[in-house]
Amino acid sequence: MHALLEFFRPYALPLLYALIIVAVLPLVAGYVVLMERKVMADMQVRLGPMRVGPHGLLQPIADALKLLIKEDIIPENADYWIFWLAPLLSVTAAMLAMAALPFGPAFQIADLNIGLLFIVGVSSMGIYGIVLGGWASNSHYSLLGALRSAAQLVSYETAAGMALVAALLLAGTLSMKEIVEFQQQQGVWFVFLTPIGFFIYLVASIAETNRAPFDLPEAESELVAGYMTEYSGFRWALYFLAEYANMIVVASIATTLFLGGWLRPFPGVHALDFLDWLPPMLLLGVALYCFYRTPKQPVKVQQGFLAAVGLLCLMLAAILGAALVPPLVRFKPAILGGFWFVFKVFAYIYVFMWLRFTFPRYRFDQLMKLGWHFMIPLGIVNVIGVASALVLHRQMHWGLAPALGATTLGTLLVAAYLAAVGRRYDLPVVGEAE
């Protein structure tokens, strides 16, 4: 008996973390959807969901309930087992990728020493979910949409991979935790060391999650309807959940590798230690705002709800503040780190949304051309650049900043060249101007 407990002891904490993630993720994804709708509304000069709960805060719950109780419709000639399996594959891949993500120095299910490889590999398995979903729908257009989606994802995985390699060269390790620790050691986030890599990863991650401006396979106004058409109710909810979970995974990878993970801005500079107080102050501000708006709500229930949200923020602010006070300072990295990580992930996702509502959509051939003729060559050149900079720094004892500066400049020149040359591959103009 004792041996059994001893056997399971190392698994206890990770299992707890895994349970937390699996339980909390759908809720978080739901609120990311709400955030998207609110941000969309804000950019479109309107308000967004306002009715269900104060300022629409209960909207995701209502949506989830609705999707759960919907009738399960399966097309007549669809292959039932694959139809059932496809969304599961997508969701499983996305959730599994979270196993190696460090949400803070203390909150990680598995600190694999091949962490990054694992995450990227497993999240690629989600493509199976898309292709099988399109195939199982037994519809010509769903299949075409699915294949297009898959082609897009694969192309941009390559580009994303190249960008990650650049950051890995700087870190020298695949373990997610050690990458962040390396950034802490250096005192600077990798985004400042390889901005081009960050840019490539940003664009590639948008394409990987099928977000605008790369969302042709799922756009409504296009003729080919996309792999999700025949799915309704809970199965659709799973696909949707997979998409947002993927967004969170991709944002987490970017945060860890480029944005310093759980580090606060300027982690090495002690003069800026007061920035540590930023999180609790921020949450205190949000809590006070909630309390301020509470009496203005029209209905008592909404008042109660908003007050509860305010209290929640207050509690979080208290926890964050407490972590800074001497007796509990040993928890500071864990708690504050968690906050910074989540904050950065949400900022990255906000940029996704911002881009979605600003830009029109790329046509599929333009999308593929961008990936293969611009992103991948640039990614490769970037890797060569960063590697050369490291050689210059370690072998020839240049400073890191000048070395990287020089190679970044070179990469930018190559980028300009690629952009100019790319016009040669544009589709020929149909017809001749007079």
Query: Interface residues with another protein (CB under 8 A)?
Result: 40, 43-46, 212-213, 215-216, 219-224, 356-366, 426-427, 429-434
Cβ 257 vs Cβ 190: under 8 Å: yes
Q: Give the shortest CB-372-to-another protein separation in angstroms.
A: 16
Query: Cα 149 vs. chain centroid, distance in angstroms?
Result: 18
Cβ 121 vs Cβ 29: under 8 Å: no
Strand, helix or coil at 188?
coil
Structure tokens at 11: 């698994």
Integer Cα distance of 377 and 384 in angstroms: 11
- Provide, for the chain, the percentages of residues in helix, strand and coil under a 3-state DSSP scheme, each rounded to the nearest 5: 75, 0, 25
Structure tokens at 148: 């297009």
Output 396 or 429, the one with its CB closest to another protein: 429
Integer Cα distance of 318 and 272 in angstroms: 21
Output 298 or 428, the one with its CB closest to another protein: 428
Output 266 or 372, the one with its CB closest to another protein: 372
Strand, helix or coil at 73?
coil
Integer Cα distance of 251 and 28 in angstroms: 14
Output 77 or 221, the one with its CB closest to another protein: 221
Handedness of CA 321, 314, 65, 145 (dihedral sign): negative
Output 39 or 381, the one with its CB closest to another protein: 39
Integer Cα distance of 210 and 229 in angstroms: 15
Output 219 or 307, the one with its CB closest to another protein: 219
Output 271 or 429, the one with its CB closest to another protein: 429
Which of 341, 343, 164 lies closest to 263 in space, CA to CA?
Answer: 341
